[in-house]
Amino acid sequence: MTLSEMRELLSSRDIRLTKSLGQNFLHDQNQIQRIVALGELRPGDQVVEIGPGLGPLTEALLETGATVLAIEMDRRLCSLLLERFKDVSNFQLIEDDALKYVRTRRRDWTDWKLVSNLPYSVASPLLVEVALAAAPPERLVATLPLEVVERIVARANDDHYGLLSLFLQVRYEPREWFKIPAACFFPAPEVESACVLLRRRQNELLSPEHIRLFQRIVKLAFSARRKMMAKLLKQQWPADQILNILNDLEISPTARAETVSVEQFVEITRLLSKDAERAREITGPPEVNGMD
C-alpha cells in the first residue's frame, strides 16, 4: 500500500485519523519488509499484530503464510480491514482495546510471535503486559518511538536504563534494532521511530511465580533515582536482610538502582524469596481463629 493509496482510501471513507490513538501508518515497503524479516515467519506460524490500522504490515505478514490475529480498537478501521481481507483464510480480527485485551484475557502465547507497529500512546505498557504474561510470545518485533527502544535495550549504567529495560529483559534478550525515518509514516510522527527485535530467553531467569516479586523490587529500587537502592528496599524488608544480600552479591550498600544489572536484580529476587519461604517454614502456617 503506497502513500497515495493510503490517502485515497482514507478520503474515500471520510476517515480522519485520531492522534490520541497513535494512528501513524507505515507505508514504506522497504521498512515493512525489514520488519517482517525480523519475524522469521514461516507458513503456519501464529502472529499477533496490535494496531494494524489500514493493514499494510498485515498484508506483508499474511503473504508469508502465517496466521495473523490482528487487534484493532478503531471500529472504522475494523470495517475496512474486514473488507480488505474478507477472502483471506489465515486472517482473524478482534475489535478491542489491545491493552485491555492482554490484561484481561489469559491466553497461551508461547508459540506466537508479536509483530506490530504499536500505537505509540500505549506501546510501553502493552509490551510489559505481553512480556510478563504467564506464557509470553516467542519473540517481539515492535515499531516504537526511538526513545522507548533505547530504554528497552539499555544496560546497567546506561542513561536510558530503568524499569522498562528490566521488565522486558528479565524475559527477553534484545537482539537488534534499526531506525525508521518519520517520512515512512502517514501522518509523520512527531518523534523518531525504530523497530526492535526481542527473543524470549531459552532459559528463564525467574519462574513465573517470582516475576511479581521482581517487579515489586525493581519499582521500589527505582522509586527515587538519587537515593541508594539499599535505603529504598529497607522500606519493605529488614535492613540486615537487605545488607546481607547485597554483600553476598558483591553490590555496594551505597549502589543506586541504575548500576545494578538484570542478573543482579534476579538474584536479589531469588534470595528475598528464599528468605520468605524459610521464614514460613519456621513459623508454620498462620493460625485460623474459629469457634469451638
User: What is the pLDDT at residue 280?
Assistant: 56
Q: What angle do CA 127, 140, 1 make, to 5 degrees?
A: 100
What is the per-residue pLDDT across 157-186, written as a single tens digit (0 to 9) for each? Answer: 999 999 999 999 999 999 999 999 999 999
- Fold match, 3-200 / 208-283: no
Q: What angle do CA 151, 152, 154 make, to 5 degrees?
A: 65
Return averaged pLDDT per consecutive 10 residues of the chain, 292 residues in all. Answer: 86 82 88 98 97 95 98 94 95 96 91 96 95 95 97 97 98 98 93 97 94 96 94 96 97 97 98 76 46 34
Query: How many Å apart are CA 177 and CA 38, to the nearest integer?
Result: 9
pTM: 0.90
Give one word for 211, left, alpha or beta, with left for phi > 0 and alpha for psi -120 to 50: alpha
What is the per-residue pLDDT across 76-85, written as a single tens digit (0 to 9) for each? Answer: 999 999 999 9
User: In CATH, which superfamily holds the domain spanning 3-200?
Assistant: Vaccinia Virus protein VP39 (3.40.50.150)
Q: Which amino acid is at 270?
A: R
Query: How many Å apart are CA 226 and CA 208, to the nearest integer?
Result: 30
Domain boundaries, the chain: 3-200, 208-283
Please give the CATH architecture assigned to the domain spanning 208-283.
Answer: Orthogonal Bundle (1.10)
